Amino acid sequence: MVLYLKILHAGALRMPITKCVKLLKKLHGDVQVDLESYGSRACAKQVREGKVVDILALADPVLFDELLVPEYVDRYYIFGNDQIVLSYDEFSRGSSEINEQNWMDILLREDVAFGRSDENMDPCGYRTLMVWQLAERYYKRPGLFDSLNKKCTDDKIYPKSYDLGTDILEGKLDYAFQYLCVANQFRLKYITLPEKINLSNPAHADYYQQVSVVLKGKTPRDQVVITGAPVEFAVAIPKNAANQEVARIFLDLMLSKRGQQVLENCGLIPY
């Protein structure tokens, strides 16, 4: 008997989810799995609009509280931590001189193109805006946020952060703000930002809370304020999942020691 599982996940989680699916098939035999990925906010909105999936994995636990609990999801599980990095490759303009102290000056050069994801579709997008706000404070550079925001025009804003890596490799972008795990998946070079900027360390949670981003809410007229917090990923089984039993097997596997090892191998810090 063939078992079925439909997974909707953040684009940034493509490799971890794929690796966990391979482990599932190795342990439980014939399982047919359908994977679909978008920005996390787009994923959550699809579930709100009636999309039926068995597993929902998002790049920010806040989205479950904001959009899905308790109507569509009873409970979610936070399973990993990451950070925002500035990724690039050897052909990126300015790559021979960029570092932790001068990255913003390189990005603001007229000939340099950098991108981010859309804050209303993808948590990496609003986290990037938070990183810019924190950088303005950390480096004591008044106006830095506005300068970066103005330079990163609409054509450099992507539906999901995963797509940024492809365009760096194709030369369409020189730099992009991404999760470390995604930069590693594309084997990109990256600048590690200070912990007070990169949203990586729960010990700095209070510091991160100084910044926020206003997003579109549940309806076109609504707005929601997202406050800075450490980068975390979460997973759940929606209430309307068609294959609850298989979903539970996958979730338990993902949260097990073997699953955590898979996540760690993909560059996440498992919880």
Q: What is the pLDDT of residues 75-112, one digit of tens each?
A: 999 999 999 999 999 999 999 999 999 999 999 999 99
Question: Tell me: the pLDDT tens digits for 20-75?
Answer: 999 999 999 889 999 999 999 999 999 999 999 999 999 999 999 999 999 999 99
198 & 160 share domain: yes
pLDDT band of 131, cuts 50, 70, 90: very high
Q: What percent of the chain has pLDDT over 90?
A: 95
8 in any annotated domain: yes
106 in any annotated domain: yes
pLDDT of residue 221: 85
pTM: 0.94
* Cα 36 from Cα 32, distance rounded (Å): 13
Question: Tell me: the pLDDT tens digits for 175-220?
Answer: 999 999 999 999 999 999 999 999 999 999 999 999 999 998 877 7
195 & 111 share domain: yes
Name the residue among 236, 267, 210, 184 with its Cα closest to residue 61: 236
Q: CATH number, domain at 30?
A: 3.40.190.10
60 & 110 share domain: no
Rounded to the nearest 10°, the torsion over CA 214, 230, 240, 252 is 170
Name the residue among 86, 94, 60 with its Cα closest to residue 215: 60
pLDDT of residue 39: 93
254 & 204 share domain: no
pLDDT of residue 264: 95
Looking at every residue in the chain, the average pLDDT score rounds to: 97
Residue 51, judged by CB atoms within 10 A of its CB (0-12, 13-18, 19+), counts as: middle
pLDDT of residue 187: 96
Residues in the chain: 271
Count how many domains the chain has: 2
192 & 254 share domain: no
Backbone angles phi, psi at 116, to 5 degrees: -150, 175
pLDDT of residue 219: 78
Contact (CB, 8 A) for 218 and 211: no
Q: Residue 90 sits in which domain range? A: 84-214
39 & 151 share domain: no
Name the residue among 236, 226, 271, 212 with its Cα closest to residue 62: 226
